[in-house]
Amino acid sequence: MKTDIVLVVPIYAGAVEQLDQSYAMHRLWQAKHRSSFLAEIRDRVRAIVTGPGRVDAELMDALPKTEIIATQSVGTDHIDLAAAKARGIVVTNTPDVLTDDVADLAMALVLSVARRIVVGDRFVRDGKWLQGNLPLATKVGGATMGIVGLGRIGQAIAKRAEAFGMKIAYHGPRAKAGVAYRFYPNLAEMAGAVDYLVVSCPGGAGTRNLVNAEVLRALGPEGVVVNISRGSVIEEPAMVEMLRDGRLGGAGLDVFADEPRVPEALLPLENVVLQPHVGSATHATRGAMGQLVIDNLQAHFAGKKLLTPVG
């Protein structure tokens, strides 16, 4: 008899295929009537798989036999961790396997904004090169990058930036032992001292609007903000307004407050590069993330140690 699990949103296709073979899988996003769909499987489901679909207390209570929530993501801000803990539900995520891809995209966004890669591409395609050269851009070597959240991804970004000749500073709850980069306990102060502010901290209530209007003003008209974390970390309306009126120099954004909706005002701006939350979106990395979901479920149901438990 196969164990019943719920899949909240589609995850890596190869992982879905494997899960279909090993479990009786119920696809929540395909349910015509959510409440009756959940009621029908209420007493059978032992695991919830997501990434990044929301898993709140209401869903946990609708599936009271749930033992584990496995998310195909390193971020867990879409899961009510306190509610899971209160119900004795273990949570697993997929750290490390995506660090390189996300850090690569952060560096790609820095370079795309600084060297106006997207603008240049359109310039050629539109035949404008026939009328003259693209205006000069900005060298990243020698510039300073301020990293908000020097975790695994933040440290990988720093290594990439150093390889491009950039200086590194960072902000976080506390200075990290053994890190040579300058630590700024005050984020606005760091923003005022750097050229690129790269957001790589976790999302969630603890970092909501951390990069607020004051921080963005300090970053200033020559400064560029890059976000590969969560849209919730930046005070988005203030950022949009400042990008439009020139009080903020530019932005490279892979995440937004209300995905997949993106503020209309950003769309025409040439000092902004936009990506559809693709930090980890490569075959290799999403395959590795999906495999971690599968391996964590397998370990749980075999009574073995979880590979990547949260908390």
Active-site amino acid positions: 230, 259, 277
* Distance from the Cα of residue 174 to its chain's centroid: 22
Q: Up-side HSE of residue 112: CA atoms within 13 Å toward CB?
A: 21
Which of 7, 15, 48, 75 touches ligand 8YV by CB under 6 A? 75
Near ligand 8YV by CB under 6 A, which window of 130-138, 204-212, 234-242, 277-285? Answer: 277-285
Residue count, binding to ligand 8YV (CB under 6 A)? 11
CA 68 to CA 206: how far, in whole Å?
A: 24
Q: Is 146 near ligand 8YV (CB under 6 A)? A: no
In terms of CB distance, is 95 or 192 closer to ligand 8YV?
95
User: Is residue 200 a contact partner of residue 149, using CB atoms and an 8 Å limit?
Assistant: yes
User: Looking at beta carbons only, is 235 or 254 nearer to ligand 8YV?
Assistant: 254
- Adjacency order of strands within the sheet including 45-50: 23-27, 3-7, 45-50, 68-71, 90-92
Q: Are strands 90-92 and 144-148 parallel, antiparallel or unpaired?
A: unpaired
Q: How far apart are CA 292 and CA 286, in angstroms?
A: 10
Q: Does 263 bind ligand 8YV (CB under 6 A)?
A: no
72 near ligand 8YV (CB under 6 A): yes
Nearer to ligand 8YV, 84 or 143 (CB): 84
State the Cα–Cα distance between residues 74 and 71, nearest whole angstrom: 8
Q: Which helix (H) or strand (E) holds 284?
A: helix 283-301
Least gap, CB of 185 to ligand 8YV (angstroms): 26
**98 part of the interface to ligand 8YV, by CB under 6 A:** yes
Is the Cβ of residue 146 or residue 290 nearer to ligand 8YV in the bound state? 290
Distance separating alpha carbons of residues 11 and 218, to the nearest angstrom:
39
Residue 51 sits in the site that holds ligand 8YV (CB under 6 A): yes
Does 149 contact ligand 8YV by CB under 6 A?
no
Binding site for ligand 8YV (CB under 6 A): 11, 51-52, 72-75, 98, 277, 279-280
